[in-house]
Homo-oligomer: A and B are copies of this chain.
Amino acid sequence: MSQNVYEVGKASQLSRQYGPYVQADWGYANHWYPGVFSDEVAERGVVGITIGGHDIAISRDQNGKAWALSDRCIHKGVKLSLKPMCFADGTITCWYHGYTYNLESGNLDTIVGSPDDKLIDNARTRTYPTEEFAGIIWVFVGDEDYPTPPISTDLPIKVTDKPNAIPHLQDPRIITRGIRRKLYGNWRLAVENGLDPGHLLVHWDNQIIVALDRAMPLGMKALKEDATELLDFEDGPKGVMNRYDLPDNYAPVFENPKVPDIKARGKWMPEIFRVSAWVPATLMVENWPIPDYAQYEFYVPIDDHNHMYFEVIAYWGGTPDQDKEFDMKYEHFFKPLGLLDFNNNDIMAREATEEFYEKRDGWNNEQLSDLDFSVVAWRKHASKYGRGFFESPDFDEE
């Protein structure tokens, strides 16, 4: 029996099979997430982000090492990042009353205007584990006492033996460029949009498709029940993958006799369509926008209605020629036509979906079709491997 069998259109029965996913409106806790791009944080700089309701300040010390700690001063709860102040090596000072924290331990090292204060060394703020590679500062966010797993368990893995396969995020030779933006819409609707083999209509008229004269199928028909591969590497990451390059698994749909006014046009290039989604909230599109490149997307939950959208292009670096070529392509091709023009249509779709799911219980009222096989596979897989739930940090006002 395949993992993808479900009765089309019966959402409320189906949703019980991935209850934890339906519950994860604030996101999965106890995972590694991208926080900011490396070049956003200078030494003694401070950038504030929010992941799953956790306000986090990311700073960089005099040695260039990145640290993450609570962006809420323990004193009166203001955000440290609102007005960055670092007056001593290895510390960050709150701009309001001068509470000064050790970047590494979170210890209250001093209070600027009260050097003998009884609270000094008797209080601390929360810190978060960080890693930095591939041009990104990563943060592990969740329950304070949760043991920190290796970041490799939360990143897509290279699943091919091809020697020049697309660059993996932990590959030392990787070079990346990208953008991030805060968007309206639940993070799950964003992951599903990225993975979805049936949403290609929104990209029908995109400039990059026309420019490359590439055939964008109207849909991808699964030829067997387990067309969507389940990936659960032991001690490694968990995800689902649509290998559109396997002709036994999928058949592209180029036309539909009942809607004669729309047909796929251009050349069909099957190798570009290999798309995977990974726990907690990552998309990998291999050989996209063009062969040998990869596009990574991260839909980092901010709260139940907003997410931070990371769009990253990865390539092989190392020689000046490679770097130069990549920069040229990024600035004048990948970014304007891919990350902006193309992905803007996905963003429009995600925003349009939010109201139904969040206000009208879409999880139990949607009517899925055969096209949703990989979305359902993703929901079940994520339900199984999410390590916990983020929750609203706000008290009830009543």
- The residues of A with any CB-CB pair to B shorter than 8 Å are 8-9, 72, 74-79, 82-83, 85, 87-88, 91, 93, 95-100, 109-119, 122-123, 196-202, 217-221, 253, 256-262, 348-349, 352-353, 355-362, 365-371, 393-395, 397
Contacts and interface: CB of A to CB of B under 8 A. Distances in A.
B100 A258 contact: yes
18 contacts: A87-B262, A88-B258, A91-B259, A93-B259, A95-B201, A97-B196, A97-B199, A97-B371, A98-B218, A98-B259, A112-B201, A113-B200, A113-B217, A113-B253, A114-B198, A114-B221, A115-B257, A119-B367
Contacts of A75: 366-369
Nearest to A120: B369
Main secondary structure of the interface of A (DSSP, over half): loop
Given A77-B353, A77-B360, A96-B349, 4 more contacts: A87-B262, A88-B261, A112-B262, A114-B219
Contacts of A97: 196, 198-199, 201, 369, 371
A203 to B, nearest CB: 11
Contacts of A219: 98, 111-114
B115 A256 contact: yes
Copies in the complex: 3
A98 B355 CA distance: 19
B198 A100 contact: no
Contact of A258 (B115, B119, B368, B397): B115
A115 B357 CA distance: 26
A389 to B, nearest CB: 16
Nearest to A99: B369
Contacts of A261: 87-88
A352 B79 contact: yes
A223 to B, nearest CB: 12
A269 to B, nearest CB: 17
A93 B361 CA distance: 23
A226 to B, nearest CB: 17
Given A87-B260, A96-B201, A395-B360, A370 B118 contact: yes
A99 to B, nearest CB: 8
A259 B87 contact: yes
A391 to B, nearest CB: 13
Nearest to A189: B76
A198 B113 contact: yes
Given A78-B352, A112-B219, A8 B395 contact: no
B356 A72 contact: yes
Contacts of A217: 113
B96 A352 contact: yes
Nearest to A255: B115
A95 B221 CA distance: 19
A118 B365 contact: no
B113 A258 contact: no
B201 A113 contact: yes
Contacts of A221: 114, 116
